[in-house]
Structure 1
Amino acid sequence: MKEQDQILEMLQKGKITVEEAKELLNALDYEEPINKKNKNVISFDVDKAKEGFQGIEKSVNDFIKTTFATIFDKDFTFQIKGKFDLFQKLFKVDVSNMKNPELFIYNRNGSVQLEESDDDELNINVKVHYKNMENFEESDFFTFENDGEHISFKSKKPSENEQFYLEVVAQIPSREFSNIVVDTTNAPIFAEDIFASKLDLSTTNGKIILEDSNVDELSITTSNGPINIEDTKGSVANVKSSNSKIIMEDISFDDFKGTTSNGKINGENLDFSDLNLHTSNGSILLENLSTDRLKKASLKSSNGDLSMELGSLRRRANFDLATTSGRINLNIPVEMKSNSQKDTYSYNKHIVASTTHFEEEGNAIDFVLATANANINIEDNKNID
């Protein structure tokens, strides 16, 4: 067993505190393991941990941010374990006659899952895990409000003498909601089959997954956790993470902005009008990026390669490509605008070029790519064998 695994085992058995584990891990001269699939769930047992429930909650954020995410590739789920009692509560709301229903879910240290309902009712199923609490009421754990259009569920913060956390599953009818907001901490958010004018998903120290959805305005924010978006379309998307990756597949938006740090950005089968991606210490890899309605693609990184495969370029395009201590491979016939060399394969260069084999009619696509200490590669998939 590796030293870092031994340290985490001692932590989960309660032999050391989170802070002690952090100090030990930081003192190691380690390399990231190649296979991390079995490392994506870390459980803290409050029955065994020295600092107890409140101590874990206070220290886990810094521990994950500075230590754990670095070791285990930033893709994990934080879990609280222990001998908790459990009760469940189900809320049912008929939204069939609502004109502009809104749903707000605020949780703490517990996951939130959004999925499609089979009928016209909004079902919110809450699992309350608690311990060392007697003579309690439901209002000690959460509040629920429904004023006819505005539906709100909010968990409460445990006091110093209380130990509890909630898991929430919301089954949402297939009709359009005007606004859906989900906010949690130290836990993941899963959303599927969502139809909304606005969707806002936010967490810390947890992943966010969105699938099979139609959202006009999308906002996704997390820290120290990955973001996965699949089979989703809309008008405007603002996706932001830190210390982790962003993964996109089969998505279509008019305006898409993705930002992260210390993590890669990967995308496949993408359709945008305006695209802006920015990361640091990570690569950006896009495959089959449609150019049918693309106006501008801006990619920026440092210490990370930028690679783009275009989905059959059939329009004029302008390229502004820059890197230091790297190479540029522009595998598309172009006319060089500012480069002493005629080829499009160069080292430590700033290339400004335009395509030469399309008619002047119609708007050109602007590609602006910049990185440092890394390479830039652009291919047109119709030219790929």
Structure 2
Amino acid sequence: MINARLGKKDEINVCKLKISAWDEEEAVCIMSISEERMFILKMLEEGKITSEEAARLLEAIDPDKGTADSGSGFKAQQRKTNFADEVSKVRDKLNEWKKEFKKNYNQKDFERAVDEFSSKVEKLGKNLAYTTIGVADKLVDFISSFVETNSFNVFGKYKATNRVFEVPDVNEDMELNIEAINGHILVKKHMENKVIIRTTVKSPADNADEILDFSREENKVTLKCNKIGNISVSHEIFLPSVKVKNISLVTKNGKVYVEDSISENFEAVTSNSNVDLMGVNGDKINVSNKNGRINFGYIIGKDINIDAVNSVIEIRQIKTTNINASTRNGRIFIENVHNHNDDPNINMNLKTSSADIKVNMNDMEKRGYKIKAQTTHAEINLLIPEMTYRNISKQMSSNFVEADSDGYDDYINKVNIVAETTNGNIEIVK
């Protein structure tokens, strides 16, 4: 369904009526029944309405099915109960798996335990995605909080050993390659013309110098871990306001947090935790994550590539030419995208599954839009004025739209968006 008259917020407000105020003769809902069900169940999950209210609203939007059933309406009542019970059972199952995970995980098998847990949640999400239960968010929040808090405390009993590494006379040809394990990498800016790396090592043995491998060859600086397993290595890095050639930050079971870096190429890789980038400036920015959130804010990057699994991607206030963002079972949200330098085009390729995609350009400029969007078991809303719809297809559970601005070829500045998901809505707003 392409909704040109009302935005999704208006649709939500229509279906958000409490049952006490519901009047079937006066309330008009322009959404399809399947979409209404999704929003009602989402409000139930968020606690905005009770299970009883949700069941009665579900009956109200499709009363014919209730009256068409035999005599007493038993099947209709059973259907209402099943919807409410389904959401409740999903919550119970997730909580049960969380307790089991906390009780039985073993540090040596942590990666395997996380993979097993995430596989269970992923399967649950695929089977019940239409309930908009948000299992990916729950997975991400649980795993990342488990790693970042005292639940992941096997290293707390080990003595912490600190090391400091300095790299003076930073220049534009410098390459910085930093590895951590079971620990975070934090990057901040300072006013000195040198790189300072403060490293903390936790290990059963007092062998920090055996674990760490620091080297500098001409303009290449490397700090790696010689060992893996039951150790923790984390870094706090201070960078000068100098544009360097490459910055590569790799860890697992730890956060990557970066403020104000400048480089030609930037890379951040982690798992089971978050990637938070604020004020990163790079010609090419690559981010990879698994079971964690990816948050971008005030980023300048001509080419941005995000490759994730079971991750939520949120991007706000960026200047770019190309964004390629791919995840699975996590929503993609993009807001306030501007042109990179003098490049007239913005290209977005966005792909996920069992989750929504939303792009809010907040665009006051005169730009031409070309959109290709595809989803299943859900809806596509293009809230962009003066669009010509070249192809609209809705067959069975599949929904496909191709559209572009009137006179698209005549625009100097263009925005091209390809968005694909399953069991999730797509909304693109100018």
State the TM-score, normalized to the length of structure 2. 0.62
Listed as ranges, the matches of 1:288-303 within 5 Å are 289=361
Whole-Å separation in 2 of the counterparts to 1:250 and 1:180: 22
Q: 1:213 to 1:87 in 2, by over 3 A?
A: same
Q: Is the 8 A contact 2:166 2:196 kept in 1?
A: yes
Which of residues 349, 353, 358 in structure 2 aligns to 1:280?
353
| Counterpart residue identity of residue 30, structure 1 | V
| Counterpart residue identity of residue 154, structure 1 | K
Whole-Å separation in 1 of the counterparts to 2:423 and 2:372: 17
Q: Offset of 1:188 from its aligned partner?
A: 1.3
Q: Offset of 1:110 from its aligned partner?
A: 1.4
Q: Is the 8 A contact 2:355 2:421 kept in 1?
A: no
Whole-Å separation in 2 of the counterparts to 1:137 and 1:374: 50
Residue matched to 1:65? 118
Q: Offset of 1:137 from its aligned partner?
A: 4.2
> Does 1:333 find its partner at 2:393?
no
Residue matched to 1:245? 312
Q: Is the 8 A contact 1:121 1:173 kept in 2?
A: yes
Whole-Å separation in 2 of the counterparts to 1:351 and 1:235: 27
Q: Secondary structure at the match of 2:333?
A: strand
Q: Secondary structure at the match of 1:66?
A: helix
Can you list the C-alpha shifts for 1:328-368, whole angstroms capped at 9, x where unaligned?
Answer: 5444234454569xxxxxx9765554444889464765454
Q: Offset of 1:157 from its aligned partner?
A: 2.0
Q: Is the 8 A contact 2:349 2:418 kept in 1?
A: no
Residue matched to 2:364? 312
Residue matched to 1:143? 213
Q: 1:56 to 1:361 in 2, by over 3 A?
A: closer
Q: 1:220 to 1:324 in 2, by over 3 A?
A: closer
| Counterpart residue identity of residue 161, structure 2 | F
Can you list the C-alpha shifts for 1:162-200, whole angstroms capped at 9, x where unaligned?
Answer: x43112111111111111111111111111111111111
| Counterpart residue identity of residue 66, structure 1 | S
Which of residues 149, 166, 169 in structure 2 aligns to 1:92?
166
Taking only the aligned residue pairs, the percentage that are identical comes to: 21
Q: Offset of 1:57 from its aligned partner?
A: 3.7
Q: 1:66 to 1:91 in 2, by over 3 A?
A: same
Listed as ranges, the matches of 1:258-269 within 5 Å are 258-269=325-336
Which of residues 337, 350, 355 in structure 2 aligns to 1:270?
337
Which of residues 177, 196, 201 in structure 2 aligns to 1:128?
201
| Structure 2 spans left out of the alignment, 5+ residues | 1-87, 123-134, 340-345
| Counterpart residue identity of residue 144, structure 1 | F
Which of residues 292, 298, 302 in structure 2 aligns to 1:225?
292
Can you list the C-alpha shifts for 1:96-154, whole angstroms capped at 9, x where unaligned?
Answer: 4x4511111112111111111231121110111223x2xx4443221111123111111
Residue matched to 2:90? 30
Whole-Å separation in 1 of the counterparts to 2:120 and 2:423: 25
Whole-Å separation in 1 of the counterparts to 2:275 and 2:363: 28
Q: Secondary structure at the match of 1:205?
A: coil
Q: Secondary structure at the match of 2:232?
A: strand
Whole-Å separation in 1 of the counterparts to 2:402 and 2:200: 57
| Counterpart residue identity of residue 119, structure 2 | T
> Does 1:197 find its partner at 2:271?
no
Q: Secondary structure at the match of 1:100?
A: coil
Residue matched to 2:58? none
State the TM-score, normalized to the length of structure 1. 0.69
Q: Is the 8 A contact 1:196 1:214 kept in 2?
A: yes
Q: Is the 8 A contact 1:125 1:170 kept in 2?
A: yes
Aligned residues: 308
Can you list the C-alpha shifts for 1:359-385, whole angstroms capped at 9, x where unaligned?
Answer: 9464765454555555554444xxxxx
Which of residues 74, 77, 81 in structure 1 aligns to 2:140?
74
Q: Is the 8 A contact 2:202 2:233 kept in 1?
A: yes
Q: Is the 8 A contact 1:99 1:149 kept in 2?
A: no
More strand by share: 1
Whole-Å separation in 1 of the counterparts to 2:392 and 2:398: 11
Residue matched to 1:306? none
Q: 1:210 to 1:317 in 2, by over 3 A?
A: closer
Deviates more, 1:169-178 or 1:349-358: 349-358
Q: Offset of 1:90 from its aligned partner?
A: 0.8
Q: 1:353 to 1:239 in 2, by over 3 A?
A: closer
| Counterpart residue identity of residue 268, structure 1 | E
Q: Is the 8 A contact 1:316 1:363 kept in 2?
A: yes
Q: 1:377 to 1:187 in 2, by over 3 A?
A: closer
Q: Offset of 1:223 from its aligned partner?
A: 0.8
Higher RCO (CA-CA < 8 Å; seq separation 6+): 2
Which of residues 238, 245, 250 in structure 2 aligns to 1:171?
238
Q: Offset of 1:86 from its aligned partner?
A: 1.5
| Counterpart residue identity of residue 266, structure 1 | F
Q: Is the 8 A contact 2:251 2:271 kept in 1?
A: yes
Residue matched to 1:305? none
Whole-Å separation in 2 of the counterparts to 1:253 and 1:364: 13
Q: Is the 8 A contact 1:231 1:251 kept in 2?
A: yes
| Structure 1 spans left out of the alignment, 5+ residues | 1-27, 290-309, 341-346, 381-385
| Counterpart residue identity of residue 216, structure 2 | N
| Counterpart residue identity of residue 178, structure 1 | K
Whole-Å separation in 2 of the counterparts to 1:178 and 1:110: 25
Q: Secondary structure at the match of 1:206?
A: coil
Q: 1:318 to 1:265 in 2, by over 3 A?
A: closer
RMSD of aligned C-alpha atoms?
3.5
Whole-Å separation in 2 of the counterparts to 1:358 and 1:68: 43
> Does 1:215 find its partner at 2:282?
yes
